[in-house]
Amino acid sequence: MFKLNRKLMIILLTFIAASVFVLSPMPLSMDQRIMIAIAFTAALFWITEALPIAVTAFLVIILQIIFRIHPVEEGLAYIATPVNTLLLAGFIIAGALKKYDLDRRIGLQFISLMGEKTENLIFGVFVATAFLSMWISNTAATAIMLPIGIGMIKKVIDEPKGSNLGKAMVIGIAFTANLGGMGTPVGTPPVPITIGFLAEHEIHISFGGWIIRALPVLLIAIPIVWKLMITVYKPEVERIEGGTEDIKKELMEMGELTKKQKHVLVLFGIAVFLWLLDAMDMGILWLIENVLTFNFLEPLHGFLPLPNDWLYIASLLISMMFILPGIGVLKWDEASDEIGWGVFVLVGGGLALGSGLLKTGVIGLIVDNMEVFLADVNLLIVVATIAFITAFSITLFSSLSATSSIFVPVTISLAFTLGINPLFLAPVAGMAACMAFLLPANTPPNAIAYKTGYFKTYEMTKAGVIATVFCASALVLIAIIFWGPIL
């Protein structure tokens, strides 16, 4: 009852504060005041969870419709945004991997290669977590890998809660789950949100184009987190005797891949190929025209190069492929149970929030003020400013989707103002929004890890501040050094 009253009090006080702000005299238009009040309300509700996060996202759309920021059809269209097809395909693939126990098998396979040295085993767990998070939700990746990591800890420490090994393993799993999601457009909501905001400006990025940008960041950030965790929380033991033995034993008990498991992996391979096709289509077209001069390939000229929205078309095809009778591996009821329908509303609400701030000129005001400081500075300073402000703002918004929904449109507008390609700056904000390392409330992986009781909040924050600085720095350097040539 206390929780209900507390949440109701937060809701009432928030609406009162927002109303006072809207009615106060200030040098802003009424639409701008209303939109700022909506953003303030959403941020506070996301932070306090006074309402479920998806309900808050839906509230953003409803309030924008009521106050005529967006017409009804435009506001509701954000829920059916094409970028949600990416998440739909991701949920369905995750459901197939889970049904046939391939997600756990993949995680165990990574760890089995690491030997028994404690530091190596921790690294294997982190790499497996990040890889899984690239293809399934970071929450699911955390839920799969935490029991495996904790099982190893219990083999060598009688009282694992509060131990350095426990802190390093459990906090690191949460951090690498957050990071891994940025690796592909289906890993975590900030990525499709970034892609969606770019698409609103007729700027398109392919599945492969995103991976080319994100993978180098992951290849540096994951080792950074690993080294940080074993340094800040140096494990009490140098070896986990029998650690990989147990992993290999479990893999042996799983047996050889079944026919159905192979079927899932084949479909997964086809899915990745379809997603990458728009990054390869010009090369394929050149081959057809210059090398593979077969008459039966002539009809492909009408389809290549692929349309700009191929990423979404491919995602729909992939979703259908996994559930189509005779071809797929899931029934619709099974797939439906795995789909996080609330996430679609969350993403839609985030896009509507950013669009409303842009439409009413609020983002323009922010960009004008940022331009004063960034107009004549080095590109490195611009990129670093975006990366660090976005990464540390996750503490304020306590939501990856909310953080990306605010900062990605600001970054795109700033890019246009400064004469920089948005394809260079927007992914910086999108990826930085995934660096949620500071508090247990920032993301579900952090909260799940915290609930194990293996660390206290300040212990996550201590490692998290350092992780944010180093990982954001890695993002900045990768962007400056490697992204320019691929634009």
Half-sphere exposure of 222 (CA within 13 A, CB side): 26
Q: Are 131 and 110 in contact (CB under 8 A)?
A: yes
Specify the DSSP element, H or E, that contains 305: none
Q: What is the pLDDT along the chain (487 residues), one digit of tens a residue?
A: 445 578 889 999 999 999 999 999 888 999 999 999 999 999 888 878 888 888 999 999 999 999 999 999 999 999 988 989 998 999 999 999 999 999 989 998 988 888 889 999 999 999 999 999 999 889 889 999 999 999 889 888 878 888 999 999 999 999 999 999 999 999 889 999 999 999 999 999 989 999 999 999 999 999 999 999 999 999 999 888 777 788 888 889 988 999 999 999 999 999 999 998 877 665 655 555 555 555 554 555 555 667 778 889 999 999 999 999 989 999 999 999 888 888 899 889 989 999 999 999 999 999 988 888 888 889 999 999 999 999 998 876 777 888 898 899 999 999 999 999 999 999 999 999 999 898 887 888 998 999 999 999 899 999 999 999 999 999 999 999 998 755 5
Phi–psi pair at 117, nearest 5 degrees: -65, 130
Half-sphere exposure of 391 (CA within 13 A, CB side): 28
- Residue 2 has a pLDDT of 46
Phi–psi pair at 276, nearest 5 degrees: -85, -10
Residue with tokens 């609020």: 362
Tokens of 161: 């809660």
- Residue 182 has a pLDDT of 94
DSSP for residue 29: -
Tokens of 197: 């905001």
Helices (H), 233-331: 243-254, 259-290, 310-323
Half-sphere exposure of 408 (CA within 13 A, CB side): 33
Q: Are 155 and 241 in contact (CB under 8 A)?
A: yes
Tally of CB atoms within 10 A around 480: 17
Record the pTM: 0.87
The span from the CA of 74 to the CA of 351, in Å, is 11
Tokens of 392: 């540390």
CA distances from 133 to 128, 165, 300, 362, 366 (A): 9, 22, 35, 34, 33
Sketch the domain layout of the chain as residue ranges: 259-338
Q: Are 401 and 350 in contact (CB under 8 A)?
A: yes
Among 107, 195, 208, residue whose Cα is nearest residue 148: 107
Q: What is the 3-state secondary structure (H, E, C) of 66-101?
A: HCCCCCHHHHHHCCCCCCHHHHHHHHHHHHHHHHCC
